[in-house]
Amino acid sequence: MAIRQIRKDGDDILRKKSKDVEVIDEKVKELLQDMLETMQVANGVGISAVQVGILKRLVVIDIQDGSGPIKLVNPVIVKQKGKQEVEEGCLSFPNQFAKVVRPKEVTVKALNENGEQITIKGKELLAQALAHEIDHLDGKLFVDIMEPGTMEYLDPEEKK
């Protein structure tokens, strides 16, 4: 497996719409695993294929709650409920955070990496991560929906 380069703010690919995955083969499974490893190395909770330069509807999420990583193929939000204002960041926008309003609960239909139809219900952080990553698949970024004037830039040197 390999750590992939994360595409950053200003890269045109982040604004493109991803295409459905027609066949889940070994190449797709390897990409999902690469995405997981890339996300873990970058200390993220989610990543989409477009963020590693591949315009396929693939998402990996791990909110570190002990339930393990979720690998989704062709995910679609079919239901959302409530609202939550959250502080959000993105691996493609390092050290930048802003307030956004996301659904408090979502229901997502997708295929797992074995091609089986699954439904995931997410609340709070999982709902936020699912909505964020699925937005990526449509070329939509968190900065597009952030509340004006809430962007914060963290100095990476302060963490040391």
Share of the chain above pLDDT 90, in %: 95
| Res. 1: pLDDT tops 80 | no
Distance CA 73, CA 55 (A): 12
Separation in Å, CA 44 to CA 49, 57, 145, 148, 149: 14, 18, 20, 24, 24
Q: What is the pTM of this model?
A: 0.94
Dihedral of CA atoms 20, 108, 137, 83 in degrees, nearest 10, equals 160
Helix (H, G, I), strand (E, B) or coil at 39: helix
Amino acid 158: pLDDT = 59
Is position 22 annotated as part of the catalytic site? no
Query: pLDDT band for position 42 (50/70/90)?
Result: very high
The mean pLDDT of 40-66, rounded to a whole number, is 97
**Average model confidence (pLDDT) across the chain:** 96
pLDDT score, position 160: 45
Q: Domain map of the chain by residue range?
A: 12-159
17: left (phi over 0), alpha (psi -120 to 50) or beta: beta
Selecting among 113, 133, 147, 152, the annotated active-site residue is 133
Inform me whether the pLDDT recorded for 159 exceeds 60. Answer: no
pLDDT at 157: 66
Query: Comparing 156 with 33, which gets the higher pLDDT?
Result: 33
Which CATH number is 12-159's, of 3.90.45.10, 4.10.520.10, 3.40.50.2020, 1.10.3720.10? 3.90.45.10
Q: Is 82 helix (H, G, I), strand (E, B) or coil?
A: coil
Instruction: Note the residue count of the chain.
Output: 160
Q: How far apart are CA 97 and CA 105, in angstroms?
A: 21
Q: What is the pLDDT of residues 114-140, one digit of tens each?
A: 999 999 999 999 999 999 999 999 999
